[in-house]
Amino acid sequence: MFTGIVTDIGEVLALEERAQGLRRLTIGCGYDRASIALGASIACAGACLTVVATGSRNGRATFAVDAAAETLAVTTAGRWKTGTRINLERPLKVGDELGGHVVAGHVDGIAEVLAREDLPDMARITLRAPAALARFIATKGSVAVDGVALTVNTVGEDTFSVLIIPHTLAVTTLAATRPGDALNLEVDLMARYAARLIEQRGG
């Protein structure tokens, strides 16, 4: 479980195709290598992936994860290349402050950036959500975009906008976002479960 509060920006250092559609990704990070346990979960651009190896390169800690075919298909991981920068978050521990909102690290789909408006000290980003996910997004509701917990500002039929404050621009990859970019999208867990309950009751 995560909160959508990014704690580091990692860099894809290597990609290796493996058996049965797996792709091993080696990611450089600023975490202490000793603190990264094999089998641990790390949210990579919002996708929860399992650490399968650790190491170091040029004085920087690295960890490797295996992305399965499904992950490569439904998240932006399938588009990552050497040098791609990604938001990282370690899992929530009991007693930690829940500074964002509850994020599962299970990406629901890919959103397309339609527009970016740079305002004084912040940016407004407008995105198009996959049609199947648009109904879960509401004004003042929560979404996770590339692993960043955000509050929805406005909503259209299949579009929504978010305001990115200066701190978030400084510590996440969203500062580099431009129209045409693809970003991982996780909708609010409560909205998804509420919709399911209504469906089961015939609403």
CATH of the domain at 43: 2.40.30.20
- Beta-bridge partners for 41: 50
One domain for residues 83 and 120: no
84 and 113 both lie in a single domain: no
| Overall domain count for the chain | 2
Domain that holds residue 139: 109-200
Residue 190's pLDDT is 72
**122-137, pLDDT tens digit by residue?**
999 999 999 999 989 9
Residue 3 in contact with residue 92, Cβ under 8 Å?
Answer: yes
Domain boundary among 89, 117, 146: 89
Could you tell me which residue, 84 or 103, shows the higher pLDDT? 84
Rounded mean pLDDT, 175-196 = 86
Separation between Cα atoms, residue 124 and residue 116, nearest integer Å: 6
Q: Tell me: pLDDT of 199 over 90.
A: no
pLDDT in tens, 103-116: 889 999 999 999 99
2 part of a folded domain: no
Whether the pLDDT of residue 175 is over 70: the answer is yes
What's the token pair of residue 3? Answer: 């909160």
- As a whole number, the mean pLDDT across the chain is 92
Residues 125 and 187 in one domain: yes
- One domain, residues 81 and 117: no
3-state secondary structure at position 73: helix
Structure tokens given for 89: 């978050």
Distance CA 132, CA 65 (A): 29
| Together in a domain, 123 and 165 | yes
DSSP string, 122-133: EEEEEEE--HHH
Q: Would you say 34 and 178 are in contact if contact means Cβ atoms under 8 Å apart? A: no
Using a pLDDT cut of 90, give the percent of the chain over it.
82
